[in-house]
Amino acid sequence: MFLKKIFGVIDLRKAAAFAAVLILSTAAAIPVVKSEKADANAEKTVYFTFDDGPSEVTEEVLEVLSKEGIKATFFVIGPSGEKTDERIERIFEEGHSIGLHTMSHDYEKIYSSAENFMGDLLYEMDWIYSVTGKECEIFRFPGGSNNSAVEEWLVEEVKERTKNLGLRFYDWNADGRDSLGEILSAEEIAENVLSSEAVGKGDVIVLMHDSAARVTSPKALEILIEEFRRLGYGFGKLE
């Protein structure tokens, strides 16, 4: 297990004020390991990813995934509420991937130095290990690896350090745009994803959000599963 290294006081979920400055990222050029597909004959795969959980919405998302027989990926952040560990355990036990998204998700803190970012990330890694007994091998930069809240040199430094630890990062190439303030309807989220240039051209990594305010995410997921199946996609999780 990685040693815990804490830089400053963790102020959970502080980054909401920075959401409007993000530049949308494209999927990282890193190989993905596909899980068993819903359709073994599908040539293209969609990977549903949920950032910023777990939350009250997590349980509804998991119900949809269970009903449809699909595995997904959850890029989680630090504890919020007494059921956090319980939700992490359920995600793990139901066979989904768990990825790191930093413990604090505090842009001002984690993007102030590579040391702060790594300390926060490894602190989260220890926490996830304590809950699941398995070390995470994947992570996602808050805001993606290409965002206007951080200087490029710092992101490159973090990439090098995480690579040396055997961690792989993933961005996305289809965005539900459900994190920019207003609560979008399920239909709007689905339309944002399906209108992405990546859809129909190859594998798709979908960005959605799992937080208490994102109450339309489960319904949007249902719509997207139906549409991606119609388009001939299989489903997988990032590993």
Specify the pTM. Answer: 0.86
Residue, of 22 and 148, whose pLDDT is higher: 148
Mean pLDDT of 21-36: 41
Helix, coil or strand: residue 142: coil
Q: What is the residue extent of each domain of the chain?
A: 39-236
Residues 6+ apart with CB under 8 A from 45: 34, 37, 203, 204, 233, 234, 235, 236
Residue 10 has pLDDT above 70, yes or no: no
Sign of torsion over alpha carbons 111, 117, 120, 124: positive
By percentage, how much of the chain surpasses pLDDT 70? 83
Where do runs of H (alpha helix) occur along the chain? 56-68, 84-93, 107-110, 114-132, 152-164, 186-194, 217-230
Q: What integer pLDDT is reported at residue 40 of this predicted model? A: 58
> How many whole angstroms from its chain centre is CA 136?
13
Residues 6+ apart with CB under 8 A from 226: none
Confidence band of 149 (pLDDT split at 50, 70, 90)? confident
The count of other CB atoms within 10 Å of the CB of residue 105 is 26
Mean pLDDT of 23-47: 57
Residue 134 has pLDDT above 70, yes or no: yes
Kindly report the CATH class assigned to 39-236: alpha beta
Among 26-40, 65-79, 147-161, 218-232, the range scoring the smallest mean pLDDT is 26-40
Q: What integer pLDDT is reported at residue 39 of this predicted model? A: 58
